[in-house]
A and B are shown apart, each in its own frame.
Chain A
Amino acid sequence: EDQVTQSPEALRLQEGESSSLNCSYTVSGLRGLFWYRQDPGKGPEFLFTLYSAGEEKEKERLKATLTKKESFLHITAPKPEDSATYLCALDQGGSEKLVFGKGTKLTVNP
């Protein structure tokens, strides 16, 4: 059973069209939830870590939020350079491994 589910799988936006990406999880004992950006042929690039429900973090046009069951990555007025695959990953207590979702491929058209 998947512990991390990201939706949608792919998302196409027009430049300036705000939207949100979802990451739902079913694990208990969450130690942290990570968001990464991955460009084609590159490694994951760290964006945010969220630790507790209600926490929010922002960076430029991106804002990540966390509840007890899901996290959202809000993208405000996106630009074409925001096009990438966005990955969500869970850090469970008692383990030194991240459990990744399959990602959301975001395309922002000019």
Chain B
Amino acid sequence: NAGVMQNPRHLVRRRGQEARLRCSPMKGHSHVYWYRQLPEEGLKFMVYLQKENIIDESGMPKERFSAEFPKEGPSILRIQQVVRGDSAAYFCASSPQAGYTEAFFGQGTRLTVV
């Protein structure tokens, strides 16, 4: 059973470009969580999604950031018009049910904005 797959592992974008981060949950997992880890900071919750639904996006910046988890395919975290402050490691976790007891994290996408 493959783990949580995130791609790309590294992404470089110029200021103003769009960044798309993908997260394929483990087989059988229908709950996805996104976290951001800024340098020298702890992981910060961004959004919690179930298939086709955003359940909690209280950690998402109000502008430029969006997330989806379609019926088919990976979950996508989209950052429009990136700025240098968006440079961070973005992690997703997936779980077969709500909660983290059986959740696993992916290896992350490291976004660098130049």
Question: A residues engaging B (CB < 8 A)?
Answer: 4, 32, 34, 36, 41-46, 49, 87, 89, 91, 95-103
Cross-chain contact A42 with B107 (CB below 8 angstroms): yes
Q: Of residues A34, A36, A43, A96, which shows the largest number of chain B Cβ atoms within 10 Å of its Cβ?
A: A43
- Chain A hits for B56, CB < 8 A: 95-97
Instruction: Using A99-B45, A102-B42 as known contacts, say yes or no to A44 and B101 having CB atoms under 8 A apart.
Output: no
Chain A proximity mask over B36-51: 1 for CB below 8 Å, otherwise 0:
0000111111001000
Chain A proximity mask over B84-103: 1 for CB below 8 Å, otherwise 0:
00000001000000111101
Q: Within the complex, which residue of B48, B104, B106 is in contact with A96, where a contact is CB–CB below 8 Å?
A: B48
Cross-chain contact B107 with A98 (CB below 8 angstroms): no
- B contact residues, total (Cβ < 8 Å): 27
> How far is A100 from B33 in the complex, measured between Cα atoms in Å?
14
* A-B pairs with beta carbons under 8 Å apart, 28 shown: A32-B101, A42-B107, A43-B6, A43-B107, A44-B43, A44-B91, A44-B105, A46-B104, A49-B100, A49-B101, A87-B43, A89-B100, A96-B33, A96-B55, A96-B56, A96-B99, A97-B45, A97-B56, A97-B58, A97-B59, A98-B33, A98-B35, A98-B43, A99-B45, A100-B42, A100-B43, A101-B42, A102-B40
**Contacts beyond the supplied A96-B55, A97-B58: 20 A-B pairs with Cβ under 8 Å:** A4-B42, A43-B6, A43-B105, A44-B91, A45-B105, A46-B104, A46-B105, A49-B100, A87-B42, A89-B43, A96-B98, A96-B99, A98-B35, A98-B100, A99-B45, A100-B35, A100-B42, A102-B40, A102-B41, A103-B42
